[in-house]
Amino acid sequence: MDFFLQEDQRIFQATFRKFAEREIAPLVEEAEETETFPLQIFPQMGKLGYLCPRYSEKYGGAGIDKVSEVLMREEISRVSQGIASTWSAHSHLGTFPVYHWGSEEQKQKYLVPAIRGEKIFAFGLTEPNAGSDVKAIETTARQEGNFYVLNGRKIFITNGNICDFLTLVAYTDRGRGYKGISLFLVEKGTPRFIVSRKLKKEGVRSSETAELLFEDCRIPKENRIGEEGSFYRVMETLNEGRIGVAGNCVGMAHGAYEAALRYAQERVQFGRPIAHFQAIAFKLADMAMEIDASRLLTLRAAWLMDQGKNPVKEASMAKLFASEVAVRVSREAMQIHGGYGQMREFPVGRFHRDALVYVVGEGTSEIQRQIIAKQMKI
């Protein structure tokens, strides 16, 4: 692996960093306080190619590689993981199955406006009784003539209450076990597709999350993505997503570290900046080291994917390590801030709340360890 970024990757990272600091950062405080996503940012990002950037230019995407996407994720999460979470559910989870396995008609109808930022996607997988155990989902899609009839409930769905399109995971044939899981597109406004409630969260507050109900909800047969039996496509979507989420976690850790370093250099106690005390300096050194290690793990997994590999183990390692580093670093950042770490005028509390989401979300730490052990043939 080449440890030096390509010139186009460095330029892309620097350009997007400026955009995040100039256009996204000013929106964060209000978005967090009101627990609402600033919808106006999506059309703006769409015009610049910052939505669904991995997809082909044929559909309006930027066609960037996975390494560049990871760099982009780090920059957006360094500013706001709440906004990054909504971006991720739209730019990867919801749209990934459509881009890779959808028909050309589906791509034109659903994917193209999503890339432009005109429509918002969500991904409907998690249920009250099915989180880490994907095979345990209970939502069904029963075929009746030229329609599928959906019944079930989804929980913790990012963008669920603001989405125009939902990529839904449901059983078409329980008798086939997990091989009977399929993917569907459901449009906002479809009768009996119900947003039952918006959920209030401790972390990623500016990313809207909802519970969804389907009660004999009829959708056209043409809304199925690919053929019936798409379990492995669901898992491929999640696996590539883990690498991206690892990049988000590096960004959260980086943001918390920068805030802590800045504060430690400015805060004076006992006649000198607290950064000059060994207890604080060692904390900062450990934080910097762990962030660098998590970044390298994440870039390795992204690089392997760019080489056409299927880095299941490496993706889980990156997600596991980076998410736990984000928790540790943001916790130490709060400690360095002392009492001010509890004040909302400082960002470190937000970074910590958001980091805690990702040792559970997108696959718990326990599940990541299970995947790694399985890949090691244990």
The secondary structure of the chain, three-state, reads CCCCCCHHHHHHHHHHHHHHHHHHHHHHHHHHHHCCCCCCHHHHHHHCCCCCCCCCHHHCCCCCCHHHHHHHHHHHHHHCHHHHHHHHHHHHHHCHHHHHHCCHHHHHHHHHHHHHCCCCEEEECCECCECCCHHHCCCEEEEECCEEEEEEEEEEEECCCCCCEEEEEEECCHHHHHHHEEEEEEECCCCCEEEEEECCCCCCCCCCEEEEEEEEEEEEHHHECCCCCCHHHHHHHHHHHHHHHHHHHHHHHHHHHHHHHHHHHHCEECCEEHHHCHHHHHHHHHHHHHHHHHHHHHHHHHHHHHCCCCCHHHHHHHHHHHHHHHHHHHHHHHHHHHHHHHCCCCCHHHHHHHHHHCCCCCCCHHHHHHHHHHHCCC
- Length of the chain measured in residues: 378
Closest by CA position to 333, among listed 322, 345, 349: 349
Q: Pick from 116, 137, 165: which residue ends a domain?
A: 116
Domain match, 300 and 356 both: yes
Q: Pick from 228, 248, 264: which residue ends a domain?
A: 228
**Domain count for the chain:** 3
CA separation (Å) from 211 to 19, 48, 114, 154, 179? 32, 32, 22, 6, 26
Q: Pick from 228, 244, 278: which residue ends a domain?
A: 228
Q: Is residue 257 a part of any domain in this protein?
A: yes
Domain match, 261 and 360 both: yes
Beta bridge partners of 154: 212
Query: In CATH, what number is assigned to the domain containing residue 14?
Result: 1.10.540.10
Domain around 50: 7-116
Domain match, 175 and 297 both: no
Global pTM? 0.96
pLDDT of residue 4: 83
Number of neighbours of residue 229 by Cβ within 10 angstroms: 16
Q: State the residue for tokens 């991720």.
A: 88
Number of neighbours of residue 129 by Cβ within 10 angstroms: 11
Which one of the listed residues 7, 74, 362, 366 is annotated catalytic? Answer: 362
Domain match, 86 and 199 both: no
Domain match, 131 and 222 both: yes
Domain match, 256 and 347 both: yes
Closest by CA position to 37, among listed 73, 78, 81, 86: 86
Q: Is residue 240 a part of any domain in this protein?
A: yes
Domain match, 55 and 80 both: yes
Domain match, 237 and 216 both: no
Domain match, 241 and 366 both: yes
Report the b/e string of 69-96 with b at 16+ CB within 10 A: bbbbbbbbbbbbbbbbbbbbbbbbbbbb
Calpha distance 33→342 (Å, rounded): 15
For every one of its 378 residues, what pLDDT tens digit does the chain have, with 9 covering 90 and above?
567 899 999 999 999 999 999 999 999 999 999 999 999 999 999 999 999 999 999 999 999 999 999 999 999 999 999 999 999 999 999 999 999 999 999 999 999 999 999 999 999 999 999 999 999 999 999 999 999 999 999 999 999 999 999 999 999 999 999 999 999 999 999 999 999 999 999 999 999 999 999 999 999 999 999 999 999 999 999 999 999 999 999 999 999 999 999 999 999 999 999 999 999 999 999 999 999 999 999 999 999 999 999 999 999 999 999 999 999 999 999 999 999 999 999 999 999 999 999 999 999 999 999 999 999 998
pLDDT of residue 197: 97
The answer to whether 127 is a known catalytic residue is: no
Handedness of CA 175, 181, 187, 193 (dihedral sign): positive
Domain match, 239 and 204 both: no
Q: Is residue 57 a part of any domain in this protein?
A: yes
Domain match, 111 and 131 both: no
